[in-house]
Amino acid sequence: MAILTTITQASRSVIRPAQALQLWHLLSLDAPSVATLWTWFVARTVSVTLPPATLPSMFLAVWMLYAADRLLDARQLFSDPMHTDDLEARHLFHHRHATAFLTALLTASVALATLLPRLFAEALRLDSILAALLFGWFLLIHARALPLSSAHRRLPKEIAVGIFFPAAIFIPTIARRPDLRLNLLPHALLFAAICSLNCLSIYAWEHSHPRSTAHWTTRLSTRHLSGLAVTVTLSGIALAAFSVARGTGLWPIAAACSISAISLLVLDVRCRRFATITLRATADLALLTPILLIPFLK
C-alpha cells in the first residue's frame, strides 16, 4: 500500500527528528498517543489499576475518530481535486492514502470490538454515553446539508475537544473510583483548558489571515492566546500548590498541565520559526508532559 511504501522509504534513510514528528502527526498517531498517556497518568496518579484492555482500546478509539475526521474533511477532493483552500497537510495526506486508512480503520474497528467487553462495566456505560454525544456532534459538523455560512452556529472544535477529550480520559479512573469525582473535577477542568488551548493555538497558526468565518469564541480566544496560556499556567501552579497543601497527591496532573501551557506559549512566541506541519505536530508533543512527571508518582 502507498502509505506503507512511504514509511518504508523513510525508514531506509536517516529520519530527522522533525521528519519523525511530522510522520507521527500525518499518520494521526498524535492524539491517540496523548489520550493513552494521559489516561494511564491520571489513573496512576491516584493508584487506580485499569483493566489491560483500557489503554489499547483508548488508542484505537481515538485514532479511528481522528483518522475518520480527516478523511471526511478531505472528501471534497473526490469531486473537486483542486479545492484545497481549507485543507492542511494532514487532510491531503489522508486523502492521498485513503484506501490504506480505510483498511486500517476497518481492522481497528474489529480489534476495538474485541476489547470493549473487557472494560470495566461502569466505564463502558459512561463511554457509551459519551460516544453517542460525540457521534451526534460528529454528524453535525460533517453534514453536507449544512451550508458553510452556518459554521459559526456549530459548537466549534476548540470547545468540543475541550469537552470530549478530557471526559474520555478521566472516565476510566472515575468509573473505578467514583469517590474521587470532586477531587478530580478541577484537574479535569484544567486539562480541558489545555486541550482547548492546544486547538486554539493550532487554529491561530494555521489561519494567520482574518478569521471572519470562525466561531465568535474562536475569534475572541485567538486574539488573547498568550493571556489564556499564562492564565492556564498560573491556574495549574495554584492547583498543584493547593493539592500539595491538602495532601491529595494530585499535584502531578496540575503540574503537567502547567508545563504544557508554558510549552504552547513558547511555541506561540516562536511560531514563525517553524514550518506549519512541524508546529502542528509539536503542539501535540507539548501535551506529552506527563512523561516528565513519572519519576514523581507514588
pLDDT tens-digit map of 178-218: 999 999 999 999 999 999 999 999 888 887 766 667 777 78
Q: What contacts 24+ positions apart, CB below 8 Å, involve 139-148?
A: 142/69, 142/72, 142/73, 148/213
Task: Tell me if residue 171 falls in helix, strand or coil.
Answer: helix
Distances (CA, A) of 215 to 122, 196, 206, 220, 229: 35, 14, 15, 9, 20
Q: What CA–CA distance (Å, rounded) separates 56 from 77? A: 32
How far is Cα of residue 206 from the mean position of the Cα atoms in its chain? 17
- Contact in structure between 114 and 52 (CB atoms under 8 Å): no
pLDDT tens-digit map of 262-281: 999 999 988 888 888 888 89
Cell of 227: 493571556
The pLDDT value recorded for residue 212 is 65
3-state secondary structure 177-198: CHHHHHHHHHHHHHHHHHHHHH
- Contact in structure between 6 and 104 (CB atoms under 8 Å): no
Q: What CA–CA distance (Å, rounded) separates 59 from 74? A: 23
The pLDDT value recorded for residue 217 is 79
Give the position of cell 472515575: 174
Task: Indicate yes or no: pTM above 0.75.
Answer: yes
The pLDDT value recorded for residue 146 is 46
The pLDDT value recorded for residue 148 is 42
- Tens digits of pLDDT across the chain (298 residues): 555 555 455 444 445 777 899 999 999 999 999 999 999 999 999 999 999 999 999 999 999 999 998 898 888 776 666 555 567 888 889 889 999 999 999 999 999 999 999 999 999 999 999 999 988 887 777 765 444 444 444 667 778 888 999 999 999 999 999 999 999 999 999 999 999 999 999 888 887 766 667 777 788 888 888 999 999 999 999 999 999 999 999 999 999 999 999 999 999 988 888 888 888 899 999 999 999 999 999 7
DSSP state of 148: G
Q: What CA–CA distance (Å, rounded) separates 298 from 31? A: 26
